[in-house]
Chains A and B, each alone.
Chain A
Amino acid sequence: MTGTLVNAGTSPVAPVEAAGSGLAVRDLKVFYGPVPAVRGVSLDCRPGEIVGVIGANGAGKTSLLSGIAGLVKTTGGSISLDGRDITRWPAHRRGQAGVVMVAERRRVFPSLSVRENLAVGGFGLDRGEVDRRVQSMLELFPRLRERERVPSFRLSGGEQRMVSIGRALVTGAQCILFDELSLGLAPRIVAELTGVLRALADEGRMIVLVEQYIGVLLRLADSVHVLERGRIRFAGPAQESAQWLEHHGYLAHAGTAAAAQEAAEART
């Protein structure tokens, strides 16, 4: 499974090994008019690392990711990738540099077929290379292969999720921003996707994962950030985060916390 990933992800931008300091976000602020969504968030993500961000609805998770991907205007702070300041870059330039966002739920191009959706990720590549990468995605997600020509609005939620992840991988992204990986998906699919995510990180990609569901996050993330009303309330390794979350009412029972910690440790 992971073998195909390496093939698919040959970066058009920079080889993974050469990656410098990774993604660094400093004091990022996002406002919608007067409405504050993100009020100064800093986080780092190094190659091979999965950074988890957790928070309730409206805590600013999606706005944070959109800010990093350049899809919303940031009102303050800075973002750098491998030492380059990308704060003022437009979204497509960040995409070409390898910062790609996988938006929550059904963010495929609904009228495009599965194959076309994946091929859109190959913008700027030659046709043969695109075909090769699309092919490897269809191998990675076998259930997409049988639905290759189907308009993607007909797909189930899980399949759409796979399409949007596949599309990001076809670009050869080095830094993938996942918004709500598990939202609306059956546990079995979530388990499948977490495996893919782990493999991606092990290849040296940077992954920022935003989740409302703590279990998924503690299972996957190397470090956890807790976002409350647009600010980071806690940042630390996944193992430590379980106690903090319990203490602050995110986990109702000691049992849950123990299970969470177990999950976090089991992974490492």
Chain B
Amino acid sequence: MALFVSALIIGVSLGTIYGLMAFGMVASYRISKVVNLGQAGIAAFGASVYWWMSSQWGAPLVVSLFGGVLVGGVLGAILGYANLKLANRAKGLVMIFTLTVTLLLFAWVDLIIPAYNITPPSPFGQGGFNFQLTFITYAQIGTFATCIAVVLVTTWVMRMTRFGMFVRAIYDDPDGASTVGIPLGVYVVGVWAVAGGMAGLAGILATSRVQLDSILLLFVMVWGLAGAILGGLESFALAFVGGVSLGVAEGILGGMLGGDLGPGLENLSAILIMAVGVLYAGTKRRHLAHLQT
């Protein structure tokens, strides 16, 4: 039981990171119909900025956290702007372009990070506490709380502010929004910036758990994308839930069965969930079907 609970907690805190990534991808997809594969690169870069500020400059962790998120936002905005310039290209090409950005950002991260096996300090400090028989780290609680808070704040902004209202209007019908005078470009850049900030945050939270490794973040993005796809790239709630459930599946199988089944098999359930989800969502959402190459 204790094993299960601890596996569940690992899964949930991992899953909220996937969920955050998925959230950002849905946000940018809905406004420009482009799958934003730049998220992994932005996450890696945000995480390295965080590490640089906290470990090299000795800045307080909170300041470093904001620094990383801010840089993520700026990168997201630049990517959003580039995406505007490529608006009349096939969406599939633009998607590959965002992947290129990820690879180049990875390269940059490789340049500024001196060696492998760097684990940035967790913004929530070391240690933890015992809850009944399970040891829960502050990092797990902090990650979970931060992701939930970001998701809630975003939801509030979308529901309650004029900015959110205009964004939702563009989501529903870009033509209708632009004909009443809403400049789509500004909003596209804005939303991509927010998505970039989320990626930066996800990157910081993910790397401080394990280590600063870009390939790891690529997988965080892939699972996030899987979560987003489970929600048809349309629904924020489903995307978040999808991301969390993939994390939980991975955590539980990794924690509980990993040793018995042999290495690699802990991924099997997550892979199967993703396969089934993609096939199901794909038959439901035909409009995503036409990816031009």
Query: What's the Cα separation between A103 and B172 when bound, in Å?
Result: 14
Band of interface residues on B: 10 to 19
Answer yes or no: A56 CB below 8 A from chain B CBs: no
Answer yes or no: A213 CB below 8 A from chain B CBs: no
| B166 adjacent to A92 (CB under 8 Å) | no
Report A81-119 residues with CB < 8 Å from chain B CB.
90-96, 100-101, 103, 107-112, 116-117, 119
Q: List the B side residues contacting A164 at CB < 8 Å.
A: 176
Query: What's the Cα separation between A241 and B172 when bound, in Å?
Result: 39
By beta carbon, the residue of chain B nearest A107 is B176
Query: What's the Cα separation between A100 and B171 when bound, in Å?
Result: 19
Q: List the A side residues contacting B171 at CB < 8 Å.
A: 111
Tell me whether A120 and B175 are in contact in the complex, defined as CB-CB below 8 angstroms, given that A92-B182, A95-B180, A96-B181 are known contacts: no
Contact mask B174-185 → A, CB, 8 Å, 1/0? Answer: 011111111110
Q: List the A side residues contacting B165 at CB < 8 Å.
A: 112, 116, 119-120
Contact pick for A120, options B166, B183, B184, CB 8 Å? B166
| B179 adjacent to A120 (CB under 8 Å) | no
| A92 adjacent to B184 (CB under 8 Å) | yes
Answer yes or no: B260 CB below 8 A from chain A CBs: no
By beta carbon, the residue of chain B nearest A124 is B181
| B179 adjacent to A95 (CB under 8 Å) | yes
Band of interface residues on A: 20 to 34
| B178 adjacent to A120 (CB under 8 Å) | no
Contact pick for A90, options B168, B172, B176, B178, CB 8 Å? B178
Q: List the A side residues contacting B183 at CB < 8 Å.
A: 90, 92-93
Query: What's the Cα separation between A171 and B172 when bound, in Å?
Result: 18
| A111 adjacent to B179 (CB under 8 Å) | no
Q: List the B side residues contacting A92 at CB < 8 Å.
A: 178-179, 181-184
| A107 adjacent to B173 (CB under 8 Å) | yes
Residue of A69, A92, A111, A168 most packed against chain B (CB within 10 A)? A92
A67 to chain B, nearest CB (A): 12
Q: List the A side residues contacting B176 at CB < 8 Å.
A: 103, 107-109, 164, 167
| A103 adjacent to B175 (CB under 8 Å) | yes
Query: What's the Cα separation between A97 and B191 when bound, in Å?
Result: 25
| B181 adjacent to A95 (CB under 8 Å) | yes
Q: List the A side residues contacting B178 at CB < 8 Å.
A: 70-71, 90-92, 95
Contact mask B146-177 → A, CB, 8 Å, 1/0? Answer: 00000000000000001001101101110111
Answer yes or no: A121 CB below 8 A from chain B CBs: yes
By beta carbon, the residue of chain B nearest A152 is B172
Answer yes or no: A123 CB below 8 A from chain B CBs: yes
Query: What's the Cα separation between A168 and B180 when bound, in Å?
Result: 7
Query: What's the Cα separation between A95 and B174 when bound, in Å?
Result: 13
Report A152-188 residues with CB < 8 Å from chain B CB.
164, 167-168, 170-171
Query: What's the Cα separation between A92 and B182 when bound, in Å?
Result: 5
Query: What's the Cα separation between A109 and B168 when bound, in Å?
Result: 8
Q: List the B side residues contacting A120 at CB < 8 Å.
A: 165-166, 169, 177, 180, 182
Tell me whether A121 and B168 are in contact in the complex, defined as CB-CB below 8 angstroms, given that A91-B175, A103-B175, A109-B173 are known contacts: no
Query: What's the Cα separation between A157 and B210 when bound, in Å?
Result: 55
Q: List the B side residues contacting A101 at CB < 8 Å.
A: 175, 179
Query: What's the Cα separation between A119 and B165 when bound, in Å?
Result: 9
A121 to chain B, nearest CB (A): 5
Residue of A70, A71, A121, A123 most packed against chain B (CB within 10 A)? A123
Query: What's the Cα separation between A123 and B180 when bound, in Å?
Result: 7
Q: List the B side residues contacting A108 at CB < 8 Å.
A: 173, 176
Tell me whether A111 and B172 are in contact in the complex, defined as CB-CB below 8 angstroms, given that A119-B165, A167-B180 are known contacts: yes
Report A7-30 residues with CB < 8 Å from chain B CB.
none
Query: What's the Cα separation between A91 and B173 when bound, in Å?
Result: 13
Q: List the A side residues contacting B184 at CB < 8 Å.
A: 92
Q: List the A side residues contacting B173 at CB < 8 Å.
A: 107-109
Q: List the B side residues contacting A70 at CB < 8 Å.
A: 178-179
Q: List the A side residues contacting B179 at CB < 8 Å.
A: 69-71, 91-92, 94-95, 100-101, 103
8 contacts between A and B (CB under 8 A): A91-B179, A100-B179, A100-B180, A109-B168, A119-B162, A120-B165, A167-B176, A170-B180
8 closest cross-chain pairs (CB), A and B: A95-B181, A109-B172, A91-B178, A96-B181, A92-B178, A120-B169, A92-B183, A109-B169
* 7 further contact pairs, Cβ within 8 A, besides A95-B178, A109-B168, A112-B172: A92-B181, A92-B182, A92-B184, A93-B181, A107-B176, A109-B169, A120-B177
Chain B positions within 8 Å of A, measured between CB atoms, are 162, 165-166, 168-169, 171-173, 175-184
